[in-house]
Amino acid sequence: MGRVLIVEDEPAIAELISLNLRHDGHEVQVAASSQAAQGAIDRALPDLVILDWMLPGESGIQLAQRWRRDARTRDLPIVMLTARSDERDVVQGLDAGADDYLAKPFSTNELLARIRSVLRRRAPQVLDTAIQVGLLRLDPATMRVSAGEVPVKLGPTEFRLLRFLMSHPERVHSRAQLLDRVWGDHVFIEERTVDVHVKRLRAALGEAQCADMVETVRGVGYRLAKPVPAGA
């Protein structure tokens, strides 16, 4: 499942959410202030952020607004958590870019359900659902990839790379973005590493006549192209 960053300054609530998320199979990190949250985001992008509104330092709203303005964090799925349940506040939270909004006190089951729903919508690669693009089918539960009837054999990194690309077909990703999202850290790995693994991925896909689906966008990065159906 996903890597979730919990931004919450009340230890009891942070602990309660952590326990439940870990039990649900997520990898969890907690930041108790806006500064710690920004530090965690700078090091590696999580798959989803649970963001408290009232924090020491910058508010959750300010954090969400800043993340939405920055290209690197623009698509970060955010679930806002707050004691405020006034309708105006809900609107402000959603305007700031939150994908969903939950008022305290909340039921942990509801929180987990909302997290799954946001992930399904915004980061399907995190959930164990099979993805299909053109002939290519990738099943995270069994770690199998096939193109029609032809099985495709991939190493673990190429599998993660393909899973990410297939979850965002037609979108161009820079090498830095791919390091961030597939390797989980954009700071300490050379961008050339991405090229090495893309080359291996293409070689594996080539055996199933699908190598062309991984396109190089010159000067920008890579894209997984959706093949145009025959006759369209």
Interface residue list for Ca ion (CB under 5 A): 9, 52, 54
136-139, strands of its sheet edge to edge = 131-133, 136-139, 144-147, 150-152
Smallest separation (angstroms) from Ca ion to the CB of 52: 4
Give the shortest CB-93-to-Ca ion separation in angstroms. Answer: 14
Give whole-number Cα distances, 55 to 8, 10, 93, in Å: 7, 9, 14
Of 13 and 225, which CB lies nearer to Ca ion in the complex structure?
Answer: 13
Strand partners, 137: 132, 146
Contact 185, 142 (CB under 8 A): no
Angle between the 60-69 and 34-43 helix axes, to the nearest 10 degrees?
30
Nearer to Ca ion, 18 or 174 (CB): 18
Residue whose CB is less far from Ca ion, 56 or 148: 56
State the nearest-atom distance from the C-beta of 224 to Ca ion, in Å.
Answer: 40
Contact 122, 104 (CB under 8 A): no
Nearest residue (CB) to Ca ion, 82 versus 177 = 82
What minimum distance in Å lies between the beta carbon of 33 and Ca ion?
A: 10
